[in-house]
Amino acid sequence: MIVRDLRAADAPRLLEFLRKYFPEEEALLGTRPEGFERIVRRIYRWDVRLVLALLRAFGRPVFRFFVIEDGGRLVATTLLTFSRRAGYVSMVVVDPAVRRRGLAKELLERARRATRARGLPYVVLDVLEANAPARALYERLGFETLRETAYFVHGAPSEAGPAPVGVPGLRPFDRRDARALVEVARRSRPPEIEEVLPSSERELSGSAWEGELLASQLAAWVLDDGTGARAWISAAVSRATEAGHVSSPIVDPALPGARAADLVRTAVAWCAERGRPRVMTMVPAENRAGRAALEEVGFRRAIPVRTLYRKVD
């Protein structure tokens, strides 16, 4: 067997994996084959590959997409992205025909080594609460529970109504808002979570280059009471998925719930205007104010998830 990085030609097999082995998530996302394959091809254009290669050469890789090939056929894969203090494993999937041969363990070891090479102290991953076999494997490999979270979904954004008009302090996000919003986010997070997944101005500001690479439209809004931003939400739609996506809202707990709900309605209406049949997000349990605003607008808890972590030895 060969362990290597993903290639453009792997896109159909990768899509097959997503649909077959992540049915709960796929039911929410609704991956579009043509859009998904277009994004993979775009990532492997010569100019994009040059930028990614330069970033990797200077020790700043954007991501690693490991695959295991057996007899010319892709049989296992995982995606690793990088935050300020952790390598984040987004999925670990192995073809049932070759399970119990240590392939998942090998992928996680590759992710651990790549994270250590980046100089980051933790590896983090999400696993469905109901996936007991995967959780048992991760725990044997030294992963511990960091927090509980969940996918939330709004199944009828077109019925949520138009974006509210005339809401005091509701305006588009500006990069200068990021510092104040990070402070709001930090106050709602337990220190053990902030240690592993610290709030980041860059995560709020996003990247036009990343949006272009992933063929996404992006937007973000804040509520500003005149002394600075006190709440934030972003929204994205991509050619690769049917569902729209909104961020887990950052909301100052002292902000009135009706105002936070208006912020969420703005993002849902933006997705509905772009023809999205549903909108999804992922919300950690500690984000009580953000969850309350989502539920006020019609989001429901769909899939419970557990976030695990381990130190990079």
DSSP 198: -
Same domain, 204 and 268: yes
Same domain, 92 and 202: no
54: confidence class by pLDDT, cuts 50, 70, 90 = very low
| Residue 61 confidence (pLDDT) | 52
Same domain, 99 and 198: no
Give the residue-averaged pLDDT of 237-255. Answer: 93
DSSP 288: H
Is-contact 228 180, C-beta < 8 A? yes
Rounded CA separation 93/128 (Å): 13
Mean pLDDT, all residues of the chain: 87
Rounded CA separation 261/296 (Å): 6
Sign of CA dihedral 2, 97, 125, 142: negative
Domain, as residue range, for 106: 2-149
Lowest mean pLDDT among 58-62, 101-105, 204-208, 276-280: 58-62
| Residue 282 confidence (pLDDT) | 95
Please report whether residue 310 resides in a domain: no
Same domain, 140 and 170: no
Please tell me which residue, 44 or 140, carries the higher pLDDT value: 140
Please report whether residue 313 resides in a domain: no
Same domain, 19 and 134: yes
| Residue 55 confidence (pLDDT) | 41
210: confidence class by pLDDT, cuts 50, 70, 90 = low
Same domain, 176 and 209: yes
DSSP string, 148-185: EEEEEEES-GGGS-SPP-S-TTEEE--GGGHHHHHHHH
Rounded CA separation 287/266 (Å): 19
Please report whether residue 118 resides in a domain: yes
Same domain, 295 and 158: yes
Is-contact 52 59, C-beta < 8 A? no
Domain count, the chain: 2
Please report whether residue 205 resides in a domain: yes
- What is the pTM for the complete model shown? 0.88
Phi-psi region of 102 (alpha: psi -120 to 50; beta: other; left: phi over 0): left
Last residue of a domain, one of 149, 175, 190: 149
Chain segment 249-298, per-residue pLDDT in tens: 999 999 998 999 999 999 999 999 999 999 999 999 999 999 999 999 99
Please report whether residue 311 resides in a domain: no
Last residue of a domain, one of 94, 122, 149: 149
| Residue 284 confidence (pLDDT) | 96
| Residue 52 confidence (pLDDT) | 44
Please tell me which residue, 38 or 277, carries the higher pLDDT value: 277
Name the one residue in this structure whose structure tokens are 């394959």. Answer: 37
Same domain, 11 and 92: yes
Chain segment 301-313, per-residue pLDDT in tens: 999 999 999 999 8
Please tell me which residue, 105 or 240, carries the higher pLDDT value: 105
CA distances from 230 to 170, 202, 227, 292 (A): 10, 17, 9, 16
Same domain, 141 and 79: yes
Same domain, 157 and 299: yes
Same domain, 15 and 126: yes
Chain segment 68-79, per-residue pLDDT in tens: 999 889 999 998
Rounded CA separation 292/299 (Å): 9
Please report whether residue 39 resides in a domain: yes
Encode 127-141 in three state secondary structure.
EECCCHHHHHHHHHC
Last residue of a domain, one of 149, 170, 202: 149
Q: Is the pLDDT of residue 46 over 60?
A: no
We report the CATH number of the domain holding residue 62 as 3.40.630.30
Phi-psi region of 199 (alpha: psi -120 to 50; beta: other; left: phi over 0): beta
Please report whether residue 309 resides in a domain: no
Q: Is the pLDDT of residue 171 over 50?
A: yes
Q: Is the pLDDT of residue 6 over 50?
A: yes
Chain segment 86-139, per-residue pLDDT in tens: 999 988 999 999 988 999 999 999 999 999 999 999 999 999 999 999 999 999
Rounded CA separation 51/31 (Å): 27
Same domain, 125 and 176: no
DSSP 248: P
Lowest mean pLDDT among 39-53, 85-99, 107-121, 156-170: 39-53
213: confidence class by pLDDT, cuts 50, 70, 90 = low
Give the residue-averaged pLDDT of 144-168. Answer: 93
DSSP string, 12-72: HHHHHHHHHH-HHHHHHH-B-HHHHHHHHHHHTSHHHHHHHHHHHHTT--SEEEEEEEETT
